[in-house]
A and B are shown apart, each in its own frame.
Chain A
Amino acid sequence: MHMGEEIMNKKKIHLYENEYGILGHLYKHVLMNPERIAFTLHRITGIGMVLYLVLHVYMTSLTLDPLRWASFLTTIENPLVRFGEWLLAGAVIYHGLNGIRLILTEALGIGLGKPRRKAVYPLVSPSIRAAQRKSLYLVFALSLVGWIIAGYIIFSGG
Chain B
Amino acid sequence: MFRESLWSLIQYLTAALLLVVLGIHILTHIPPFVETYHEGLSLESVRTNYRELGWVLLILLYVALFHGLNGIRGLAHEIIRNTRMLTIVNTALVLLFIILAAYGTYTIMKWA
Q: Spell out A's residues near B (CB within 8 Å).
A: 43, 46-47, 49-50, 53-54, 57-58, 60-61, 63-64, 66, 69-70, 73, 76, 92, 96, 99-100, 102-103, 106-107, 153-154, 157-158
Contacts and interface: CB of A to CB of B under 8 A. Distances in A.
What are the 7 closest A-B residue pairs judged by CB atoms, nearest first?
A: A158-B36, A50-B68, A158-B37, A107-B12, A61-B107, A57-B104, A99-B15
Chain B binding surface, main DSSP class = helix
A100 B20 CA distance: 12
A103 B26 CA distance: 21
A96 B22 contact: yes
Given A46-B68, A50-B68, A73 B41 contact: yes
A66 B100 contact: no
Give the interface centre of A50, A58, A70, A102 by most chain B CB atoms within 10 Å. Answer: A50
A64 B68 CA distance: 25
A154 B30 CA distance: 9
B103 A49 contact: no
Contact of A53 (B43, B46, B64): B64
Given A54-B100, A158-B38, A49 B46 contact: no
Interface residues of B, number: 37
29 contacts: A46-B71, A47-B72, A47-B75, A50-B69, A50-B71, A53-B65, A53-B68, A53-B100, A57-B61, A57-B103, A57-B104, A60-B46, A60-B107, A61-B104, A61-B106, A66-B43, A69-B46, A73-B38, A92-B22, A96-B19, A99-B15, A99-B18, A102-B15, A103-B16, A106-B12, A107-B8, A107-B9, A157-B36, A158-B39
Contacts of B71: 46, 50
Given A76-B41, A92-B22, A99-B19, A57 B46 contact: no
A64 B110 contact: yes
A158 B41 contact: no
Interface in B1-24: 8-9, 12, 15-16, 18-19, 22
Contacts of A92: 22, 26
B24 to A, nearest CB: 13
B20 to A, nearest CB: 11
Contacts of B111: 63
